[in-house]
Amino acid sequence: MKKIKLSLFICFLLGIMSPVVLAQKYSFGEYTGVNFSNLHGNLLTNKWMPKVGPNAGLFLEYSLNKSFSLQTEVAYVTHYYEMKSYYNQSTDPIYYDDYSSSSIYYNYYSHKYDFSFLRFPLFIKYKTPTRLQLGLGGGMFYSVLLNDDVTKTERDAAKKENRKIYPPKYDWGYIFSADLSYPITKDIRFFVTGRITSGQKVFIESVKGENGSSELGFGLKYTPNSRKENINDYMKPSDSDSSITRCYIRPVAGLLVGWNSSTKKAGNYSAKIGSSIGAAFEYRLGKTVSLQSGILFERKGYALSDSSLYYHRIATDDKYPENKVDSKVELDYVTIPLNLKFSIGNPVSFYFDLGLYSGFKVNALCHGTAIEKSSGSYGYTLQKININDAVEGYYHAVDFGYQTGLGFEFPFRKNLKFDIGITYSESFSPIINKTNENSVGYSNDDVSIKNGSVVLQFGLQIPISR
Amino acid sequence: MKQISNIFRSRKLLQIQVFVVLLSTIISCNFNDPSIEILANYNFSYYNNNPVAVGGEYLKDSIYVQVYSYTTPTDVSGFTVEFKIKNGGGTVDKQVVKTKKDGKASTRWKLGTDSFTQIVTARVTDPNGNVFPEAQIVARGLLYNAWNEVNYYPLNQLSDMASDTITHQSWMISASKVYKRGDNFLDWQQVDESKLNGGREIEIDKNGVVYIGTWNGELVKSTDHGLNWIKCTKPIPDNPYFFYLWITNDGDLWATRYDRGLWHSTDGGITWSNPLAVTGETFTMNGAYRLKNGWLVSMVNFGLLKMEIMKSEDEGKTWNPISTTAPEYPYSVYVTGKDEIIIFTQSIAGIFKSTDLGKTYRKVFEGSVTFNTSAMQSYVKKFGMDYYIAIPGHGVLQTQDFEKFETLFTEPNIDGLYIDHTGSIAVMGWLDKLNTSFFYGRK
One digit per residue, the tens of pLDDT, for chain A of length 466 reads 445 455 555 545 544 444 444 556 899 999 999 988 888 888 888 888 778 889 999 999 999 988 899 999 999 999 888 888 876 544 333 443 333 333 334 445 678 888 999 999 999 998 877 787 888 899 999 999 998 888 888 888 888 888 888 899 999 999 999 888 989 888 899 999 999 899 999 998 888 889 998 899 999 999 987 665 554 455 444 444 445 567 888 889 999 999 999 988 778 999 999 999 988 989 888 889 999 998 899 999 999 999 999 999 999 998 888 889 999 999 999 899 999 999 998 889 999 999 999 999 988 999 999 998 888 899 888 888 899 999 988 999 899 999 999 999 999 877 788 999 999 999 999 999 876 566 667 888 899 999 999 999 999 988 876 4
Q: Residue B411: which CATH number?
A: 2.130.10.10
Under DSSP, the state recorded for A226 is: P
Low-confidence ranges of chain B (pLDDT < 50): 1-18, 20-22, 24-30, 373-374
Cα A375–chain centre separation: 42
Residue A99 burial class via C-beta count within 10 angstroms: exposed 0-12, middle 13-18, buried 19 and up? exposed
Give the end-to-end CA distance of chain B in Å, rounded to a whole number: 114
Q: How many CA atoms lie within 13 A of B349 on its CB side?
A: 9
The string of DSSP letters for B324-351 reads: TTSPSSEEEEEE-TT--EEEEETTTTEE
CA distance B21 to chain A (A): 9
H/E run at residue A10: helix A2-16
**Cβ-nearest to B43 among A51, A90, A95:** A95
Would you list the DSSP string of A431-451? -B--SSTT----SEE-----E
Among partner residues B4, B43, B132, which is closest to A96 by beta-carbon distance? B43
Which of A334, A309, A312, A310 has the alpha carbon at shortest distance from A399? A334
B133: domain CATH number is 2.60.40.2410
The confidence score (pLDDT) of residue A304 equals 95
Asked if residue B419 lies in contact with residue B383, where contact means CB atoms within 8 angstroms, the answer is: yes
pLDDT of residue B10: 42
**What local confidence, expressed as pLDDT, does residue B419 receive?**
96
Distance of alpha carbon B18 from alpha carbon B29, whole angstroms: 17
My answer on whether B108 and B192 are in the same domain is: no
| Claim to verify: residue B135 and residue B217 sit in the same structural domain | no
* pTM for the predicted model, two decimal places: 0.65
Residue B22, domain member (yes or no): no
H helices within B362-433, ranges in order? none
Using the beta-carbon criterion (under 8 Å), do A386 and B38 form an inter-chain contact? no
Q: Decide if B279 touches A, using CB distance below 8 A.
A: no
- Chain center to CA of A226: 35
CA distance B173 to chain A (A): 33
Q: Examine the domain organization and report whether B137 and B171 are in the same domain.
A: no
Q: Which of A364, A423, A426 is nearest to A399 (CA)?
A: A426
Chain B neighbors of A384, CB-CB under 8 A: 36-37, 39
Cβ–Cβ pairs < 8 A, chains A and B:
131
- Cβ–Cβ of A367/B32 closer than 8 Å? yes
Q: Is B241 an 8 Å CB contact of chain A? A: no
Contacts of A192 in chain B (CB under 8 A): 16, 20
In angstroms and rounded to an integer, the radius of gyration of the C-alpha atoms of chain B is: 34
> What pLDDT does B376 receive?
65
Q: Which of B142, B167, B187 is the last residue of a domain?
A: B142
When scoring A78, A380, A384, A385 by the number of chain B Cβ atoms within 10 A, the one with the most, hence best to mutate, is A380
> Strand pairing partners for A66?
none
Give the count of beta carbons closer than 10 Å to the beta carbon of residue A63: 18
| Residue pair A434/A38 in contact by the 8 Å Cβ criterion | no
Residue B161 lies in a domain: yes
Q: Are residues B260 and B371 in the same domain?
A: yes
- The chain A residue lying nearest B123, using CA atoms, is A377
Please tell me whether residues B169 and B280 are part of one structural domain.
yes
Q: Per CATH, the architecture of A25-234 is what?
A: Beta Barrel (2.40)
- Beta strand B80-87 pairing with B52-54: unpaired
Note whether B17 contacts A: Cβ–Cβ < 8 A.
yes
Distance CA A61, CA A97 (A): 73
| Nearest in space to B187 (alpha carbons), one of B216, B211, B154 | B154
A379/B41 CB distance under 8 A:
yes
Put simply, whether B15 touches A (Cβ < 8 Å) is no
Element spanning A416, H or E: strand A416-427
Cβ–Cβ contact B4 with A under 8 A: yes
What radius of gyration, in Å, describes the C-alpha atoms of chain A? Answer: 26
Question: For residue B150, what are the contacts with CB-CB under 8 A and spacing of at least 6?
Answer: B116, B140, B156, B186, B436, B437, B438, B439
Q: What does the angle CA A351 – CA A353 – CA A358 come to, to the nearest 5 degrees?
A: 150
- Which of B379, B389, B426, B440 lies closest to B174, judged by CA? B426
The fold of the A242-466 domain, in CATH, is: Porin (2.40.160)
Subunit contact B44:A218, Cβ cutoff 8 A: no
Q: What is the pLDDT of residue A108?
A: 56
The pair phi, psi for residue B23, each rounded to 5°, is: -60, -40
Q: Taking a C-beta distance cutoff of 8 angstroms, is the pair A394, A313 a contact? A: yes
The reply to whether B278 falls in a domain is yes
Cis preceding linkage at A93, omega within 30: no
Same domain, B136 and B154: no
Counting runs of H as helices and runs of E as strands, what totals does chain B give?
2, 38
Looking at CA atoms only, how far is residue B104 from chain A in angstroms?
13
Among candidate residues A348, A383, A379, the one with its CA nearest the CA of residue A369 = A383
Bond from prior residue into A167 cis (ω within 30 degrees of 0): yes
B189 in contact with A at a CB cutoff of 8 Å?
Answer: no
User: Cα A361 to chain center, whole Å?
Assistant: 7
Residue B7 sits at the chain A interface (C-beta within 8 Å): yes
pLDDT at B22: 46
As beta bridge partners, residue A330 has A301, A365
Residue B398: which domain range? Answer: 147-440
Whether B113 and B163 share a structural domain = no
Dihedral class, residue B15 (left if φ above 0, else alpha if ψ from -120 to 50, else beta): alpha
For A95, which residue in chain B has the nearest alpha carbon?
A: B43
Backbone angles phi, psi at A276, to 5 degrees: -145, 130
Distance CA A24, CA A224 (A): 6
* Chain A interface includes B75 (CB < 8 A): no
- Is residue B110 located within the same domain as residue B157? no
Indicate if B381 and B236 belong to the same structural domain: yes
- A-chain residues near B16 (CB < 8 A): 192, 218
The residue among A117, A364, A83 whose CA lies nearest residue A204 is A83
State which of B99, B124, B142 marks the end of a domain: B142
What's phi and psi for B116, nearest 5 deg? -75, -50
- Residue A155 DSSP code: H
Closest CA to A331 of A293, A275, A290, A378: A275
Contact B28 A384 (CB under 8 A): no
Give yes or no for a contact between B354 and B340, defined as CB atoms under 8 angstroms apart.
Answer: yes
Within-domain flag for B33:
no
Interface test with B, best of A31, A383, A385, A387 (most B CBs within 10 A): A383
Final residue in a domain of this structure, among B98, B123, B142: B142
Co-location of B115 and B175 in the same domain: no
Question: Which of A36, A97, A220 comes nearest B45 by C-beta?
Answer: A97
What are the phi and psi torsion angles at A206 (to 5°)? -60, -30
CA A320 vs. chain centroid, Å, equals: 36
Asked, for residue B37, whether it belongs to a domain, the answer is: no
Residue of A nearest to B135 (CA): A377
CB contact under 8 A, A385 and B36: yes
Are B322 and B352 contained in the same domain? yes
Angle formed by the axes of helices B11-29 and B2-9, nearest 10°: 50
Answer whether A385's CB lies under 8 Å from A367's CB.
Answer: no
Q: Which residue of B has its CA nearest to A389?
A: B34
Tally of CB atoms within 10 A around A162: 6
Of B3, B31, B36, the CB nearest to A106: B36
| SS3 label, residue B241 | coil
Three-state secondary-structure class, residue A237 = helix
In one letter, which amino acid is A5? K
CA atoms of B298 and B312, how far apart (whole Å):
9
A-chain residues within 8 Å CB-CB of B40? 380-382
Question: How close A340 comes to chain B (CA, Å)?
Answer: 36
Please answer yes or no on whether A218 and B20 come within 8 Å at the CB atom. Answer: yes
Cβ pair B36:A185 closer than 8 A: no
Q: Do the Cβ atoms of A204 and A113 come closer than 8 Å? A: yes
User: Is residue A16 a contact partner of residue A62, using CB atoms and an 8 Å limit?
Assistant: yes
Residue at B23 is within a domain: no
List, by residue range, all CATH 2.40.160.20 domains of chain A.
25-234, 242-466
Give Cβ neighbours of residue B309 (< 8 Å, ≥ 6 apart): B297, B298, B299, B300, B321, B322, B323, B326, B330, B333, B341, B343, B358
What ipTM describes this predicted complex? 0.73
Other C-beta atoms closer than 10 Å to the C-beta of A95 total: 18
B203 close to B248: Cβ distance less than 8 angstroms: no
Number of structural domains (chain B) is: 2
- Contact B33/A84, CB-based, under 8 Å? yes
Record: contact B28-A108, CB cut-off 8 A: no
Q: CB under 8 Å to A246, separation ≥6 — which residues?
A: A283, A284, A465, A466
Q: Using CB atoms within 10 A of its CB, is residue B291 exposed (0-12), middle (13-18) or buried (19+)?
A: middle
Domain assignment present for B420: yes
The answer on B112 and B155 residing in a single domain is no
